[in-house]
Each structure stands twice: as structure tokens, then as C-alpha cells.
Amino acid sequence: MVVLYFLVGMGLLYFGSEWMVRGASGLALSFNIRPVIVGLTVVAFATSAPELVVSLIAAIKGSSGVSLGNILGSNVANLGLVMGLSAVASPLSVEPNLLRREMPFMLMVTFLFWILCMDGRIGRLDGIILVGCLGAFLTMSVLTAKSPTSKIVVRDRLGKKTGIWYLFQLSAGTLGLVAGANWMVRSAILMARALGLSEVFIGLSIVAVGTSLPELATSVVAGIKGESDISIGNVVGSNIFNICLVIGTVGLFHPMTIESRLLRFEFPALVVLSCILFVFSSTGKRLNRLEGLFFVLGFCLFVAISFLFSKGGP
């Protein structure tokens, strides 16, 4: 029954996020906005909603291991699974402005996240700093959003649907997210205890992959359809939102402690993968299939090593 609850929760999480993405994108793409900005902000926020709800619920229930593990695992999954599989499915071109502004910003907040956790705690001051970084990111995005020469990406025949329909999708998706996240957290904690696994590892692996499903679906489909800007922007923006919005919000409302072992492997792994993404993207302004495969294998190695650490291995 616990596994069934987890799968049902994951299903609600996925479909709720899918509706949120469709509703948010439908409203945003009605305006003349750079596609990459839509991916970096609106779609990234919508696909980060599962992590926000899951992490808040986990922290409130006293399972900070699931909360922090979810964000670390989700960001690594975004880089490894989401970006990797998207590039394997269809090589992705990288917008030059993304390399100059948004991707360096992602690297900066990833390093900052690691530094703030070195004292073993994410408190209210840390939360204020991270939320402030989100404000700076959104301001930068708004100032560079409009592009009179950009082609508006219109999906799902936006012109035949009304704003009320997209608002309904957003509302229904939010309800699905809350219900699905609650079920996933409860069942994940029970599974961790039954299998003798740490809550951190469950958050790093199963819950992280579950909450990254919206990013995976959105980025792979966007990449196949030739919308590399939305595909890459979704991953970069989602990682920024996960750190600044999710961890920042949790820090503000429910400070949490950090397991010291995470500082030895999981945090460095996230930073290294983020740097590799920047390097790969800078060479030829694209991500090819071989580089995508590298990220997928990197994620598998990350999960395997995290499992060994959770069992008290080297």
C-alpha cells in the first residue's frame, strides 16, 4: 500500500505539474517574450512547484533530510537526466545570452548554496539571502524579456483558448501538486524506514526523480520540437528556483539542519556538474548527444555513490 500511495502521489504530481506548465506557458506566450525567458521563469517556476511543495511539507513534518535531499537530487537530476536525455533525444543549441547571463547566475547561486550550508544549517538569514537572489534573477529576466524580433512560440493553439482556461489549468494543477506531494512524502518516509535507507537518500533519488518528471517531460518534448531555448532555459531556471525559492522559503519558515556528509560528496557533485554544463555549452554553443550521454551516466554514478554513503560506505 505504501508503494501504491507513492505511485499515485507521483502520478498526481506529474499531471498537476503538466497542467501548471501548460497553463503558465499559455498565458506567458501570449506576449512577445523571448522563448528562453519563458523557460527560465514561467515554465521553470511551474516545474519547480513540486519541489517547493514536497520540501515544505517534508520540513514541516520534521523530515529535513527528505527536503534537502529532494533539492540536491532534483538539481542533479535536472542536469543529468533532464538535460542529458534532452540532448540525447535531439542536440540542443544554446542561446549566447544564456551563456553570458543566466547560466553564470545559476553557477553563482549553486556555489552560494554550498557555502551557506557549510555551517550545518539553513536558517532565516540564509533564506533571506536566497530569496533576495531570486528577486535579482527575476529583475534581470524582466529587463531582458521583451524581444521585438523574437518569434513567439505558440503551442497547443493558444489563440483558440482563453485566459480563463489557462487559469483553470493552473488551479487544478496546483491542487494535484499539493495532494501528490503530501502522499509522496508520507510514503517515502515509510519506505525509507522499512528498507533501512536514510531519508536523505530517498530524497536524493526516488523523490528527486519524481519531482523532476515535469522538467523531464517539458524539456525533452521542447527539444524534440526544436525549442532548445525552452528546453535549456527550463533546466537552468528550475535549478535557480529550486535553490533560491524552495530552499529560501524553507529556510524562512522552517530552518533545517544539514548532514555533514552531504558537504563531502553531494554538494561538490552538483557544483561540478553545473560547471561542466557551462563548459560543454560554451564549446560550439550547443549540447550534442555524446555530451548528453555523459550527463545521464553522471547522474547514475551520483545515485550509486550516494547510496554507498547512505549505507556508511567510503
In CATH, what number is assigned to the domain containing residue 127?
Answer: 1.20.1420.30
**Claim: this prediction has a pTM higher than 0.95:** no
Give the separation between CA 215 and CA 86, rounded to whole angstroms: 10
Asked if residue 38 lies in contact with residue 155, where contact means CB atoms within 8 angstroms, the answer is no
User: Count of H helices and E strands in the chain?
Assistant: 16, 4
What is the domain range of residue 95?
2-310
pLDDT in tens, the chain (314 residues): 777 877 887 787 777 767 766 776 666 666 656 656 666 676 667 667 777 777 777 777 777 677 788 788 889 998 998 899 988 988 888 888 888 888 999 999 999 999 999 998 899 999 999 999 999 988 887 777 655 444 444 444 444 566 677 778 767 876 776 677 667 767 776 777 777 777 778 778 777 777 677 667 667 766 776 766 667 887 888 899 889 988 998 888 888 888 888 888 899 999 999 999 999 988 878 889 999 999 999 999 998 888 887 766 55
Q: C-alpha distances in angstroms, 288 versus 31, 80, 220?
A: 31, 14, 14
pLDDT at 259: 82
Cα 89 from Cα 311, distance rounded (Å)? 34
Q: Structural domain tally of the chain?
A: 1
